[in-house]
Amino acid sequence: MRLFRFLAFAAALFLAVPAQAQAPAIDRENTLFIDLEYGRVVIRLRPDIAPKHVERVKLLARAKFYDGIVFHRVIDGFMAQTGDPTGTGTGGSGRGNIPAEFSRVPFDRGIVGAARSSNPNSADSQFFIMFRRNAGLDGQYTVWGQVVSGMEFVDRIRRGEPPRNPDRMVRVQVAADVP
């Protein structure tokens, strides 16, 4: 009888919580899926702080540009970089550079940033995912996303500059395009 009363009480509490407080809605238009051989990485895109970068990433994902591209620079304790179709770190999409969109978002573990040359306005298709915090990048590179699920799969990406047998992004999709 006590268990029944407890369950009834717990159900009443749950039903009293507004729906928006129960589970945040996912903005599928601003969520990116990166499928690795290990599993799916889910990234919350940040058009609120980097609209031009997010627009480019979604354009390239929808064009299947990123499918099969290797992680060409993976530094233990720092980051995993990808997005270059040549696999050398010197290539891009051919769509031109994007102006920097710096923000105050810190480069913590799971942050996704735009890779670039020494010119702050030289980002294109390449990006990196942080393995851990690096304050030296704050305000110097554009943050356009945050891993919200699947960081354990990012942690498994083979290290090297370049890795001897590099991992690839099997498929990259905007969540809104996935049934």
pLDDT at 11 exceeding the cut of 70: no
- Residue 11 counted as domain residue: no
User: Region 117-139: what's the mean pLDDT?
Assistant: 98
pLDDT at 10 exceeding the cut of 80: no
pLDDT at 68 exceeding the cut of 50: yes
Q: How far is CA 17 from the centre of its chain?
A: 31
Cα–Cα distances in angstroms (integers) from residue 147 to residues 12, 81, 96, 108, in the given order: 34, 14, 26, 10
- Residue 6 counted as domain residue: no
Q: What is the pLDDT of residue 17?
A: 46
20-62 per-position pLDDT tens digit: 455 567 899 999 999 999 999 999 999 999 999 999 999 999 9
- Residue 10 counted as domain residue: no
User: Region 105-112: what's the mean pLDDT?
Assistant: 98
Cα–Cα distances in angstroms (integers) from residue 52 to residues 111, 124, 148, in the given order: 17, 10, 21
User: Region 135-149: what's the mean pLDDT?
Assistant: 98
- Residue 153 counted as domain residue: yes
Q: What is the pLDDT of residue 20?
A: 47
Q: Which two tokens stand for residue 117?
A: 């040359």
Q: Would you say 43 and 32 are in contact if contact means Cβ atoms under 8 Å apart?
A: yes
Compute the distance between CA of residue 105 and CA of residue 156 in angstroms, rounded to an integer: 25
CATH of the domain at 75: 2.40.100.10
Q: Domain residues for 136?
A: 24-177
Average pLDDT, the chain: 91
Q: How many domains does the chain have?
A: 1
DSSP string, 79-146: EEEE--TTSSSS---SS--B-----S----TTEEEE---SSTT-BSS-EEEESS--GGGTTTS-EEEE
| Lowest pLDDT segment from 22-31, 75-84, 123-132 | 22-31
Q: What is the pLDDT of residue 25?
A: 79
- Residue 118 counted as domain residue: yes
- Residue 117 counted as domain residue: yes
Q: How far is CA 134 from the centre of its chain?
A: 16
- Residue 12 counted as domain residue: no
Amino acid at 14: F
150-170 per-position pLDDT tens digit: 999 999 999 999 999 999 999
- Residue 18 counted as domain residue: no
Q: What is the pLDDT of residue 5?
A: 55
Residues 6+ apart with CB under 8 A from 121: 97, 98, 99, 100
pLDDT at 90 exceeding the cut of 60: yes
* CA geometry: angle 126, 57, 96, nearest 5 deg: 65
| Lowest pLDDT segment from 18-32, 33-47, 76-90, 93-107 | 18-32
